[in-house]
Amino acid sequence: MKKKLALVLLLKNREPALLVSGQTVSNFGDGVALVALTLLVYDTTGSLTKLAWFAAARMTPLVIFLLIGGAIVDRFSRRVLLIISDVARAVLTGVLVIMIATGLLRFWELMVFGALFGCFDALFFPAISALTPEIVPEDLLPAMNSLRPLSNNLMGGMIGPAVGGLLAAYSTSIAMGVDCATFVVSASALWLMKPTPKPGRKEENSMIDDIKEGVHYVRRTRWLWTTLVAVALSNAFLFSPMFVLIPFFLLHNLHYAKVYVGFLEAASGVAGVIGALVMSNLPSPKRRVRVMWIYWSIGTLSALIMGVATNFWEIIFFPIIASPMMIFGNVIWESMMQSEVPRELLGRAGSVDWFVSLGVAPLGLVLAGEIANVVGIRMYFVLLSVICVVPGLYILKSKRINEIDEKRVHPTPTAAP
């Protein structure tokens, strides 16, 4: 009951309510664009390899500029940076809509769009992570970390993709136009929020010094860097390729209609919404690292379903299981970051988080396309599910990595007055 009350209190607070409202609309647009862009690239090229290359083109600049983005986030108002990111992405999407509508769009131009979009994603992700504890009271942070994936999965993973599949089947330019409008709404909500100050920092530090300070903090924090390395493997070779390989498998191997791609994303969103609602009512576990990795390991092993699935209604169990398990782990992870990492380092630590966890993903996307062409999509998911679960099992067993939670499990007795 406490978490339910926390969600209500959170939405009664003006600043978090504006942030969540704007992001909810933007998440809807992201869900529409996810399906529309996947189908656009497939229709333009008909190639699994080029579909993977497009996803890599968007993720590569995101990874390259994340550390710079984190340093910028710890220098300027996080709210202003989010507005800049939303406006820039609205302009880019608007240009893409015009090119689609006029029939001038080619594959290399899609690659350029993906690369430019990724640059502003690199600013957005660490900025929103660092802004959250500035506008949300500490006791409401777990509620916020549950509400954000709830919004993301409801709108970006369920309603958005379902609408995106229907709109893209009729007109890709209309689908992308909807995405463009949602960025404008998100920027407007951020504009209505109260101004936030610049974070405190050492004024004499250069940008390079700031980046080094953030990297050094993560390197000497065992629970941080070990988790990031393990997550990087799963993200690169399992969960990022999932959004490329499964749609291709449905369209090319099983010959389903395009609308089923939207239905698959919607099913993942429904499962994510349920997962976020459940997580918002669960107490923070004492053994955060171990519980987090139990959830993530179950999600990783759910990819084994692809090895035996023969139709859409069997394949759908993969995202239905994986989505809530990822959310359960992610909520614990974000809450740990926001409570354990010093506030003035949060932007840079968050950028290192994104940089490492997504760093190998562009290469993973390209290799996934090539490997799946050789061994088949079914065998790819079976092999990579087994490989990716190994680091998580090691972390579950390691006492040194889990020592961050020892004081929670065995609290020091308070001395009598």
**Residue 413 domain-assigned (yes or no):** no
pLDDT tens per residue, range 226-271: 999 999 999 889 988 887 788 888 888 888 887 787 778 778 778 8
Report the pLDDT averaged over residues 143-160. 76
Q: How confident is the model at residue 417 (pLDDT cuts 50, 70, 90)?
A: very low
Report the pLDDT averaged over residues 4-8. 59
Question: Residue 68 carries which side chain, given as an amino acid letter?
Answer: I
Non-local (6+) Cβ contacts of 7 within 8 A are 143, 146, 147, 280
| C-alpha pair distances (Å), 387 with each of 133, 220, 240, 304 | 36, 26, 15, 11
Number of neighbours of residue 392 by Cβ within 10 angstroms: 25
Mean pLDDT of the chain: 83
Residue with tokens 């939405």, as numbered in its chain? 11
In contact, 123 and 72? CB cutoff 8 Å? yes
pLDDT score recorded for residue 5: 57
Is the model's pLDDT at 362 over the cut of 60? yes
In whole angstroms, give the CA distance from residue 255 to residue 167: 20
Report the pLDDT averaged over residues 335-341. 84
**Residue 148 domain-assigned (yes or no):** yes
In whole angstroms, give the CA distance from residue 341 to residue 199: 14
DSSP state, residue 416: P
Which of 210, 201, 229, 227 has its CA nearest to residue 67? 210
The two structure tokens encoding residue 28: 């809807």
pLDDT score recorded for residue 174: 84
In whole angstroms, give the CA distance from residue 366 to residue 389: 21
pLDDT score recorded for residue 265: 72
Higher local confidence (pLDDT), 359 or 33: 33
**Residue 415 domain-assigned (yes or no):** no
Domain that holds residue 255: 14-193+207-407
Q: Which of 120-129, 135-144, 153-162, 178-187 has the highest mean pLDDT?
A: 178-187
pTM as predicted:
0.73
Is the model's pLDDT at 92 over the cut of 50? yes
Q: Which of 27-31, 110-114, 160-164, 262-266 has the highest mean pLDDT?
A: 27-31
Report the pLDDT averaged over residues 336-345. 82
**Residue 5 domain-assigned (yes or no):** no
In whole angstroms, give the CA distance from residue 260 to residue 266: 9
CATH of the domain at 158: 1.20.1250.20
pLDDT score recorded for residue 290: 94
Is the model's pLDDT at 179 over the cut of 80? yes
**Residue 216 domain-assigned (yes or no):** yes
Burial class (CB in 10 A: 0-12, 13-18, 19+), 103: exposed
Which of 87, 84, 88 has its CA nearest to residue 73? 84
Percent over 70 (pLDDT), the chain: 92
The two structure tokens encoding residue 267: 């099913």
pLDDT score recorded for residue 1: 37
What domain count does the chain have?
Answer: 1
In contact, 326 and 320? CB cutoff 8 Å? no
Query: Which strand (E) or helix (H) includes residue 337?
Result: helix 317-340
DSSP state, residue 237: I
Question: Residue 150 carries which side chain, given as an amino acid letter?
Answer: L
**Residue 318 domain-assigned (yes or no):** yes
pLDDT score recorded for residue 157: 67
**Residue 7 domain-assigned (yes or no):** no
Sign of the Cα pseudo-torsion (223, 229, 233, 239, in order): positive
- Angle, helices 48-73/14-45, rounded to nearest 10 degrees: 150
**Residue 417 domain-assigned (yes or no):** no
pLDDT score recorded for residue 253: 82
The two structure tokens encoding residue 30: 């992201």
In whole angstroms, give the CA distance from residue 272 to residue 270: 5
In contact, 227 and 334? CB cutoff 8 Å? no
pLDDT score recorded for residue 322: 92
In whole angstroms, give the CA distance from residue 118 to residue 84: 14
Is the model's pLDDT at 197 over the cut of 90? no
In whole angstroms, give the CA distance from residue 37 to residue 56: 13
